[in-house]
Amino acid sequence: MDIQAITQQEDILQEEIIEEKITKKNKKMTKEEAKEPTLYDLPGVGAATAEKLESAGYNNLMSVAVASVGQLVDVAGVTEANARKIINAARSSMNMGFESGQALLAKREKIIKIQTGSQNLNQLVGGGFETSAITEVFGEFGSGKTQIAHVLAVRIQEQDPSAIAVYVDTENTFRPERINQLSQGVGLDPDKVLKNIKVARAYNSDHQMLLAEKINDLIIKDKLNVKLVVIDSLTAHFRAEFIGRGTLAERQQKLNRHMHVLLRLADTHNLTVLVTNQVMSKPDMFFGDPTTAIGGHIVAHASTFRIYLRKGKKGSRVAKLIDSPNLPEGECAFMVEQSGLTDVN
Ligand code: GTP
Ligand code: MG
């Protein structure tokens, strides 16, 4: 064997050693990574169930550990006994430590409050429309729900110029021209703002739910900095598709699932979810305002803030905060103008 052949052999040997080292290192890394259990490690969770859970926003053990049996049955189609087993396994496999008040405060400090242009409206919701929360805006036609959604989609850019707003439009009322006006109204570049708004038209309730489930992918896979999710309107398709008493249970079940996906998005990614909702008249009510939001308790309970909008005097709009975790109930008036929302003089 000549010298050249020997060196070649040595090179090959060297390569093999390096390769082995890399494989060992990789193995070690995957072992280290494996320390953190995932959904797939839970007994009774196969690929299909894990996928269903993930698409409903349950993408880590914590979310499963704190879910209720009913929720898992709903979203993953497992039996009650299985759901209980999965939840218990998630609970025991993770460190369900208590979070200090300080840690929670640190989390709260990351919250963004989107401004509206009306100081009174900002104040009503505690300084602006918060991330990490669902805000439901409900009211009759023309009360300003879609206008508020457009304003937030623009003004989120003030706090974070890289922020993406996802606008799920169910009634074909998203208007880029309006975004132009509103951007100019606050001195933002309309082209840039429009670029940072991703609009999807939802053709029916299933499509709407699917779109909401896909937002997680936009954030995780496409690495988009989504800070606002608008569902305008949350309930119109559901209301149109499920007619009659017999279908109510199914409608509410689906709405419940939808709300949970949104809640998880808000929670996991520190983003604002704004849902708009219509009202129906309550014929059995003789005093006060005989209108009530569609979707009942399911939508009401999942929402962190609820704002009831109505038309006020001289073209103004009146917003009433219905319930919120830490704010007093209150009311304020504002105007919708070409440049945006303003206080009533
Ligand atoms: P539905 O979707 O039909 O239930 O109503 P909504 O609550 O979404 O109503 P929306 O937000 O679309 O409000 C429409 C109202 O906003 C209009 O009737 C106008 O009064 C007002 N509006 C919209 N654009 C402008 C504008 O450029 N200038 C002014 N002054 N008002 C506007
Ligand atoms: Mg509207």
Domains and CATH numbers, the chain: 39-92 (1.10.150.20), 106-343 (3.40.50.300)
> Does residue 98 or residue 184 have the better pLDDT?
184
Residue with CA closest to ligand 1 atom 30:
337
295 versus 176: the higher-pLDDT residue is 176
Which whole number is the average pLDDT over 68-76? 89
The amino acid occupying position 188 is L
DSSP state of 58: -
Indicate if the pLDDT at residue 29 is higher than 70: no
Q: How far is CA 206 from CA 87, 170, 213, 237, 247, in A?
A: 27, 11, 11, 9, 15
How far is the C-alpha of 105 from the C-alpha of 277, rounded, in Å? 31
Residue 320 has pLDDT above 80, yes or no: yes
300-to-252, 274, 289 alpha-carbon distances in Å: 12, 13, 18
Task: Give the separation between CA 291 and CA 274, rounded to whole angstroms.
Answer: 20
State mean pLDDT over 143-159. Answer: 97
Q: How far is CA 303 from CA 36, 81, 281, in A?
A: 31, 29, 21
Mean pLDDT of 118-127: 96
> Which amino acid residue places its CA nearest to atom 29 of ligand 1?
337
Which pLDDT score, from 0 to 100, does residue 30 have? 47
d(CA 1, CA 27): 37
Q: Which residues line ligand 1 (CB under 6 A)?
A: 139, 141-147, 173, 278, 336-338
pLDDT exceeds cutoff 70 at 56? yes
Residue 142 CA, closest ligand 1 atom number: 9
94 pLDDT band, cuts 50/70/90, is confident
Q: Give the other-Cβ count within 10 Å of 31's Cβ.
A: 9
Return the pLDDT at 34. 43
Q: Give, for ligand 1, the residue of 146, 170, 317 to mutate: max count of ligand atoms closer than 8 Å to Cβ.
A: 146
Q: For 132, what's the count of Cα atoms within 13 Å in the CB-facing half-sphere?
A: 11
With beta carbons less than 8 A apart as the criterion, state whether 137 and 334 touch. no
Which ligand places an atom closest to the C-alpha of 232? 2
Ligand 1 pocket test: pick from 307, 336, 338, 342 the residue with the most ligand atoms within 8 Å of its Cβ: 336
**Ligand 2 mean position, distance from CA 91 (Å):** 42
pLDDT on residue 130 = 95
- Please give the Cα distance from 304 to 273 (Å, whole number): 10
CA distance 200 to 171: 11
On average, the pLDDT of the chain sits at 88
Between 114 and 101, the higher pLDDT residue: 114
The total of other beta-carbon atoms located within 10 Å of residue 218's CB is 16
CA angle 160, 161, 167 (to 5 degrees): 85
Q: Is the pLDDT of residue 233 over 80?
A: yes
Residue 305 near residue 318 (C-beta atoms within 8 A): no
Gap from CA of 344 to ligand 2 centroid (Å): 22
Residue 138: the pLDDT is 95
Q: Are 321 and 125 in contact (CB under 8 A)?
A: yes
Return the C-alpha torsion angle 155, 179, 153, 182, nearest 10.
30
For residues 110 and 296, the model is more confident at 110
pLDDT band at 24 (very low <50, low <70, confident <90, very high): low
187 vs 299, higher pLDDT: 187
Taking the centre of ligand 1 as the mean of its atom positions, its distance from the CA of residue 279, in whole angstroms, is 16
Determine which residue's CA is closest to atom 12 belonging to ligand 1: 146
Confidence at 32, pLDDT banded by 50, 70, 90? very low
Among all bound ligands, the one having the nearest atom to the CA of 140 is: 1
Calculate ∠ Cα 301-303-304, nearest 5°: 110
User: Cα(345)–Cα(343) distance, rounded to whole angstroms?
Assistant: 6
- pTM of the shown model: 0.77
Using CA positions, which residue lies closest to atom 4 of ligand 1? 141
- Band of pLDDT at residue 31, cut at 50, 70 and 90: very low
| CA–CA dist 167, 170 (Å, integer) | 9
Burial of 219 (0-12, 13-18, 19+ CB in 10 A): middle
